[in-house]
Structure 1
Amino acid sequence: MSFYSSEPSDLLFDAARRGDVTYIKEILGQQTVEVDVQNGRGFTPLILATYEEHLEAAKLFIAAGADVNKQDFAGNTALMGVSFKGYADIARLLIEQGADLNIQNGSGGTALMFATMFGRNQLVKILTEAGADLTIRDSRGLTALDMAIGQGNEEAIPYLQN
């Protein structure tokens, strides 16, 4: 295993990217590591692990106290990333652990908007059933329903109507 740095946080990011739960446990066992440390783009180990679809790694970070609502420098959260990617199991985990469904990023986007825009209709259903706010507008003034209509995403429309 070769790492570009021996700093615990750099090792943690690498392990998160790979989903290496054994190594994550080892690193988290060190008192010098901050579980919500951010890299140059503002990603936390939890955001990286969820974006790479590493459910077990995400569970470890959450158990270690990771903030499920931490935003990267663009304002995106782990829930937004998995909503974009379509990772339903990780979305459920984040929601169960208190992820805020209605956080908006720098462009006003929400997890529901990401799921809608990218046709992740299982996520649209999960998020709306969990109580996502259907009235939130992004920086262009669009709601998730507006996006579904604009994209021709007929399957999502029933979930997005009040």
Structure 2
Amino acid sequence: MDMDNSGGLTPEQTERVVAVAMDLAREGRTEQLLEFLAHGLPADVRDPAGNTLLMLAAYHGHADSVRALIRHGADPDLRNGRDQSPLAGALFKGADDVVTVLIEAGADLDSGTPTARATAAMFGRDHLLAG
């Protein structure tokens, strides 16, 4: 889970904080998510499956949350435990606005399995990668 200073929380409490933050990312609740970051939650914290907040926000189509997480230092290329990138997830889900945000943030089109390029080709979304 990569939290250097959990503020004296027990492992169970830390796990719960991360789970709540992941739910906020899935739901696109940007302001609440930013409160967690303001109180020390790392932008690139991972859940047990290796998903980051950015991965979940991207996969669920929340461009504003993705943009905010990137502004707060989230790495747009961190892949989950299945080697999937946030960009490939957004392409798979058809979240065109999220794809645009990630490309503008410099997301790697060739990282992960499958790559964003391969995912775009599979789903007929090549035009989104042609900056």
Do both share a fold (TM > 0.5)? yes
The number of equivalent residue pairs is: 123
- For 1:7-156, list aligned pairs within 5 A: 33=9, 37-39=14-16, 43-138=18-113, 142-156=114-128
Mapped contact 1:79–1:94 kept (Cα < 8 A): yes
Supply the distance in 2 between the matched residues of 1:155 and 1:145 (Cα, whole angstroms).
10
- Scaled by the length of structure 2, the TM-score of the pair is 0.83
Supply the distance in 1 between the matched residues of 2:64 and 2:75 (Cα, whole angstroms).
16
Q: Are residues 137 and 54 of structure 1, via their aligned partners in 2, closer, same or farther at CA, if it must alter by over 3 Å? A: closer
After superposition, what is the alpha-carbon deviation per residue over 1:34-72, rounded to whole angstroms, capped at 9, x for unaligned? 7x8224xx9532212121222221121111011110111
- Scaled by the length of structure 1, the TM-score of the pair is 0.68
Mapped contact 1:121–1:155 kept (Cα < 8 A): no
Task: Calculate the aligned-residue CA RMSD, in Å.
Answer: 2.1
Q: Per residue, is there more helix in 1 or in 2?
A: 2
For structure 2, which runs of at least 5 residues remain unmatched after alignment?
1-6
The structural deviation recorded for 1:157 is: 3.5
SS of the counterpart of 1:156? helix
Read off the aligned partner of 2:65 and give its amino acid letter: I
Q: Are residues 32 and 137 of structure 1, via their aligned partners in 2, closer, same or farther at CA, if it must alter by over 3 Å? A: closer
Point out the structure with max Rg over C-alpha.
1
After superposition, what is the alpha-carbon deviation per residue over 1:99-125, rounded to whole angstroms, capped at 9, x for unaligned? 011111111101111111111111111
Supply the distance in 1 between the matched residues of 2:19 and 2:64 (Cα, whole angstroms).
19
Read off the aligned partner of 1:79 and give its amino acid letter: L
Read off the aligned partner of 1:90 and give its amino acid letter: S
- Partner in structure 2 of residue 19 of structure 1: none
Supply the distance in 2 between the matched residues of 1:94 and 1:60 (Cα, whole angstroms).
12
1:158 aligns with 2:107: no
